Amino acid sequence: MKLRTVLLTVVAGVVTALPAVSSQASASTSPVPAPIGTPVNQTGKVVCLPPADWNKPGYDYINTYKSACASTKNWDRTFQDVTIGTEVDGRNDFRLTASTALAGATASVKVNDKEFIASGGHGQAQQSLFHAWDGTKGPSECYNPTQSGSARDDDGQRAPFHGPSTSALYEQKRDSLTTLTTRSRLAMYVPRSSNKPGYGGCWPTSLQRNASPFTQGLSPYWLRTKVVIGTGSNTKGLQNVIRNDVTLTSEDRRHSGFDGIFVSYLQRDFTDVYQYDPATKQLRKVAGTIASATPLVRCTKDRAYCLALRFAKGDVPSGSYYYAMTNEPDSYNGYSGEYTVQVTSPSKNVGVGGTTTIRYRTYVAVGNLERVRATLAKLGS
C-alpha cells in the first residue's frame, strides 16, 4: 500500500512514538460527540460534490473526512460511523471518528476545528496493516492485510473515495462517550483479482492461493480493535491520548516473517519532525524520512498541532521489537502531499503451527509540541 516498510535491528522492548494536545482553542460547548464535518448549503442540505478548484478546496474535500459523504454499507451490512470524544483542559473539543467506508479505521482525529488525519481513499487514514512472508523475500504489498480495505476499492469511484470497503466489517459500536470497538476480516490491499502489479512489481497471484478467502479479496486475518480516548485508567493529564488496543488472529499458514504496523496519514501541513529522547524527556528537531528506536512526532510548522505514536509492549511473539518511522510524501507514499508516522513490530513464525494471536497497544497523542513532550514523559517508557 502507500507505505514504506523497512526492517531494522533495534534493541528489543524499546519505546516508540507518542502523544499530544493543543492548549490553544476555542471553548467546547459540549463533550458529547457529534458527526464530523457535515457540509451544508444555504438551504441546510448536505453537499457532497467535488469543488471546481482542486488545489486547497479539492484537497480538503478528499482528505478531511465527512461522514455525510461516506458509505455506510459494508458487504450485506449497514453501519453508521461512530464518533467518540471528550473535552480536554476544559476548553478543547477532542473527537475521533471510525468510518464504515474504511471498515472501522479511524478517518478523523480533530481538536476543535483542526483535522489531523488525511483520509482520502482506502490506503490512508489511521489504521492497522500487516505483512507476512517467508525466508528472505521480505514484506510485499501483494500480501498485505489492511484494515481500511483494498486498493481496488477506489477504482471507478469519485472523490472523496469513501465508497464501500472490501474488508468485511462485523461490528462497529460506541461502548461509551470515549470508547468504541470494531471487529473485521481484513482485505488484501492488492487483491488476487488485480490485473496490475503491486508496488515493486509484485503479482498477487504468485503469493495468494486460488481459494477462499483470497478469491473474495479477503485475507485469513481477523482484527478486533478497542479505541479509548484517555488511557482508560489514571487519565488525569492524558485526556489528549488515544489508546488503540488491537488483537490480530491468524487463520493463515505459518510464515517465517511477519510485521504489524500502526500508521497515521497526516494532512500535508504536518511538515516538521521531532525525535523524543526518553532519557532526557526532551525533543529535538530532525528532518526527512527516518526510522528511529525512540518516538517520532509530526507537527505543523508553527508547532501548534502535533501527533505522536508510542507502541506499548503487547502480547507479541518472543523476539519481536518495535521501531518508529516517518515518511515524506512521494509518488507512492502520500502522493498528494501527506506525511506519515508509524510504529512497526516485526515478528517471526506467525500463523497456524506458530503464533496465531497477537495483541498490540499503541498510544496516540495530539496537541501542541510542549503538550506532546509532556505527554510522552508522563506515559514513560
Please tell me the predicted confidence (pLDDT) of residue 318.
78
25 has pLDDT over 70: no
* Phi, psi for 199 (deg, rounded to 5): -55, 135
Tell me the Ramachandran region of residue 193: left when phi exceeds 0, alpha when psi lies from -120 to 50, beta otherwise.
Answer: alpha
Please report, in angstroms and rounded to a whole number, the separation of the first and last CA atoms in the chain.
Answer: 30
Lowest mean pLDDT segment, chosen from 98-107, 203-212, 272-281, 323-332: 323-332
User: What percentage of the chain carries pLDDT values higher than 70?
Assistant: 86
CB of 360 closer than 8 Å to CB of 347? no
Q: Which three cell numbers stand for residue 107?
A: 478517518
Q: Which three cell numbers stand for residue 170?
A: 462485523
CB burial of 53-71 (b: ≥16 within 10 Å; e: otherwise) equals: eeeeebbebbbbbbbebbb
Please tell me the predicted confidence (pLDDT) of residue 15.
27
Please tell me the predicted confidence (pLDDT) of residue 67.
96
179 has pLDDT over 70: yes
Please tell me the predicted confidence (pLDDT) of residue 40.
52
Please tell me the predicted confidence (pLDDT) of residue 233.
64
Higher pLDDT, 23 or 257: 257
Lowest mean pLDDT segment, chosen from 236-240, 316-320, 352-356: 316-320
Lowest mean pLDDT segment, chosen from 134-148, 178-192, 307-321, 364-378: 307-321
Mean per-residue pLDDT for 277-294? Answer: 95
Higher pLDDT, 351 or 30: 351
Lowest mean pLDDT segment, chosen from 48-62, 260-274, 335-349: 48-62
Mean pLDDT, rounded, of the chain: 87
What's the CA gap between 255 and 53, in Å, rounded? Answer: 47
What confidence tens digit (pLDDT) does each residue in 91-112 have? 999 999 999 999 999 999 999 9
Q: Which three cell numbers stand for residue 161?
A: 473515495
Please tell me the predicted confidence (pLDDT) of residue 201.
95
Pick the CATH number of 56-379 from 2.70.98, 2.60.40, 1.50.10, 1.10.1060: 2.70.98
Please tell me the predicted confidence (pLDDT) of residue 45.
61
Mean per-residue pLDDT for 172-195? Answer: 97
What's the CA gap between 258 and 158, in Å, rounded? Answer: 34
Mean per-residue pLDDT for 321-345? Answer: 86
What's the CA gap between 315 and 293, in Å, rounded? Answer: 19
46 has pLDDT over 80: no
- What Å distances lie between residue 182 and 32, 105, 127, 165, 227, CA to CA? 20, 9, 12, 14, 9
42 has pLDDT over 70: no
- Please give the full DSSP string across 58-121, using - where no structure is assigned: HHHHHHS--GGGS--EETTEE---EEEEEEETTTEEEEEEE-TTTTT-EEEEEETTEE-B---S
| Beta-carbon-side half-sphere exposure of residue 213 (alpha carbons within 13 Å) | 18
Please tell me the predicted confidence (pLDDT) of residue 13.
28
What confidence tens digit (pLDDT) does each residue in 198-252 have? 999 999 999 999 999 999 999 999 999 999 999 766 667 899 999 999 999 999 9
Please tell me the predicted confidence (pLDDT) of residue 53.
76
